[in-house]
């Protein structure tokens, strides 16, 4: 859960976005459209990408259009071609909050062509920098979407578990993926097994992943195991904590717990992956 003044950002490849974007039934309630929203949508739904300055005019102030543009972004109707506006917001730039969902409305058809003004140059406001365009329509066939998500997550996670699928927020949840993965298994496209201890019985992986796991075991001397430190971002799919594994708990009551430290490095040291004999540090 996030606050009403914050929002989720998701990344989609242009060539596969219709297969990874949420279907309308899985999207949050949309915004109630105003004239400013319609000005932007009428421009963008015709195709192409435009600088913010090209969206201005028609009796609306730049402030109104900026507010409307970001409401359309939070609603999942509009996207940009650069991450610079997000960086500007994180750096302290002022931008309208996502706000609570409002009454759903159907987007209007482009009734009248709106004058597309020549762009006088990039907008100096970094929170609306770059070019803006309408998001593509999500693939309406949920089976095709589930098929693509199954392949995507097998490649992303290596060993796909129920916890990892839940963390990805796949439409339909793991139950939908399970049907596709079972069909993959019958066709010889993946394997089901108990590859990693304590991650549950419903684990799926392609043959190359299983072979790689076995190669690690073959190269380990149980009498003299070798360990090396690997630093992973909390949101990296390779980081199992928070997805396939719960976040480690403190060993004793009142012990320091890991957490985000603004502007400072944090680390979690543990003697084994189950989280026993662990110490939290604010710097590393």
Structure tokens at 104: 């759903």
Is 2 a member of any domain?
no
What is the span of the domain harbouring residue 185?
141-218
- Asked if residue 60 and residue 153 are part of one domain, the reply reads no
Residue 255 CB burial class (10 angstroms; 0-12, 13-18, ≥19): exposed
- Asked if residue 206 and residue 278 are part of one domain, the reply reads no
CA dist., res. 232 & res. 39, Å (int): 43
- Asked if residue 57 and residue 129 are part of one domain, the reply reads yes
Is 6 a member of any domain?
no
CA dist., res. 4 & res. 283, Å (int): 31
> How many folded domains does the chain comprise?
3
State how far the alpha carbon of 169 is from the alpha carbons of 82, 173, 187, in Å.
Answer: 24, 7, 26
pLDDT digits (tens, 9 = 90+) for 261-278: 565 556 655 544 444 333
- Asked if residue 27 and residue 129 are part of one domain, the reply reads yes
Contact at 8 Å (CB) between 71 and 96? yes
| pTM strictly above 0.75 | no
Is 227 a member of any domain?
yes
Residue 185 CB burial class (10 angstroms; 0-12, 13-18, ≥19): middle
Is 119 a member of any domain?
no
pLDDT digits (tens, 9 = 90+) for 131-179: 999 999 889 998 999 999 999 999 989 999 998 888 888 878 889 899 9
- Asked if residue 23 and residue 44 are part of one domain, the reply reads yes
Is 19 a member of any domain?
yes
- Asked if residue 153 and residue 42 are part of one domain, the reply reads no
Structure tokens at 82: 């650069």
- Asked if residue 129 and residue 35 are part of one domain, the reply reads yes
Coil, strand or helix at 93: coil
CA dist., res. 95 & res. 12, Å (int): 23
Higher pLDDT, 123 or 242: 242
Domain-ending residue, one of 134, 152, 183: 134
Is 101 a member of any domain?
no
pLDDT digits (tens, 9 = 90+) for 75-128: 889 999 999 999 998 887 555 555 544 433 333 333 333 333 434 454 578 999
State how far the alpha carbon of 175 is from the alpha carbons of 79, 91, 148, in Å.
Answer: 30, 40, 15
CA dist., res. 221 & res. 198, Å (int): 22
- Asked if residue 187 and residue 154 are part of one domain, the reply reads yes
Q: Is the pLDDT of residue 73 over 60?
A: yes
pLDDT at residue 251 in the model: 59
- Asked if residue 169 and residue 204 are part of one domain, the reply reads yes
Percent of the chain, pLDDT > 70?
70
User: CB 76: neighbour CB atoms within 10 A?
Assistant: 18
Is 45 a member of any domain?
yes
Domain-ending residue, one of 134, 157, 185: 134
- Asked if residue 267 and residue 238 are part of one domain, the reply reads yes
Structure tokens at 148: 């693509």
Contact at 8 Å (CB) between 130 and 80? yes
Domain-ending residue, one of 111, 134, 157: 134
Coil, strand or helix at 145: helix
Q: Which helix (H) or strand (E) holds 142?
A: helix 142-157
């Amino acid at each position: 859960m996030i606050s009403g003044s914050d929002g989720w950002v998701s990344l989609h490849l242009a060539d596969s976005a219709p297969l990874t974007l949420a279907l309308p039934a899985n999207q949050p309630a949309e915004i109630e459209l105003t004239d400013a929203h319609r000005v932007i949508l009428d421009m963008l739904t015709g195709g192409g990408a435009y600088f913010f300055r090209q969206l201005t005019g028609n009796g609306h102030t730049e402030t109104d259009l900026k507010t409307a543009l970001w409401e359309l972004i939070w609603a999942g109707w509009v996207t940009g071609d650069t991450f610079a506006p997000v960086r500007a917001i994180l750096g302290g730039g002022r931008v309208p909050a996502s706000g609570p969902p409002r009454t759903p409305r159907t987007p209007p058809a482009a009734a009248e062509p709106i004058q597309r003004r020549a762009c006088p140059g990039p907008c100096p406001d970094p929170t609306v920098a770059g070019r803006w365009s309408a998001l593509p329509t999500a693939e309406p066939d949920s089976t095709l979407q589930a098929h693509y998500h199954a392949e995507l997550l097998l490649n992303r996670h290596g060993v796909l578990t129920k916890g990892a699928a839940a963390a990805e927020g796949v439409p339909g949840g793991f139950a939908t993926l399970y049907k596709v993965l079972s069909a993959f298994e019958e066709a010889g496209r993946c394997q089901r097994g108990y590859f990693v201890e304590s991650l549950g019985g419903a684990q799926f992986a392609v043959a190359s992943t299983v072979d790689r796991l076995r190669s690690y075991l073959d190269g380990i001397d149980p009498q003299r195991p070798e360990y090396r430190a690997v630093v992973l971002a909390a949101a990296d799919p390779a980081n199992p904590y928070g997805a396939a594994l719960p976040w480690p708990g403190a060993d004793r009551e009142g012990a320091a717990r890991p957490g985000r430290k603004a502007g400072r490095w944090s680390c979690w040291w543990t003697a084994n992956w189950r989280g026993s004999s662990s110490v939290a540090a604010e710097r590393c």
